Structure 1
Amino acid sequence: MHACRSRSTVSISFTLPQALRAQGLLKEAEHVESQSAETVLTPDECQLLGYLDKGKRKRKEKAGSLQWAYMAIARLGGFMDSKRTGIASWGALW
């Protein structure tokens, strides 16, 4: 059984790539985004997210990565990425 993760841990994991990009650390941001979503979500949560996001994933998003999980959760909250920034609001995420 997985230990409960705090919301702050999850939010830091999802917002860290944007902070790294803002500082010009592109390789580090890509490394964080490519990590498995199971570093912040349980396997059951990842499976459910994959089921709910089926057919909505964009090409650049590798299924099971942190980037995919971030965007999938944002899409569930109504995020459309109309400005093509890839940055969802807190309202869409929570």
Structure 2
Amino acid sequence: MSETYNPPEIFSSNSLIKSMDEYKNMYQRSLDDPDGFWAEEAEKFVWFDTWHTVRQFNYDVRKGRISIEWFKGGKTNIAMNCIDRHLETKGEQT
């Protein structure tokens, strides 16, 4: 199935990603420069301690344990990022 349908303008105008072209550009950037892309996305969150490595991974069992780590050295609180940081400006919507 390859059909796509555009959402109504009222919906897309309030969306974080406004169009399929914008999505495709973001996706391509995530492939071309994954560390840069994800570092920029992570800057949108509140961090108590900033990370020193965006991602570190090993997918080769011959080189050791399979692992992936994101934002190594960073410390945040997801509940604060999802709710608390929005209370001052959008508390009545929470």
> TM-score, normalised to structure 2's length?
0.23
Quick check: which one's strand share is greater? 2
Whichever of the two has the greater Rg, that structure is 2
Between Structure 1 and Structure 2, the one with more helix by share is: 1
Which of structures 1 and 2 has the larger relative contact order (alpha carbons within 8 angstroms, sep 6+)?
Answer: 1
Please, what TM-score do these two structures have when normalized by structure 1? 0.23
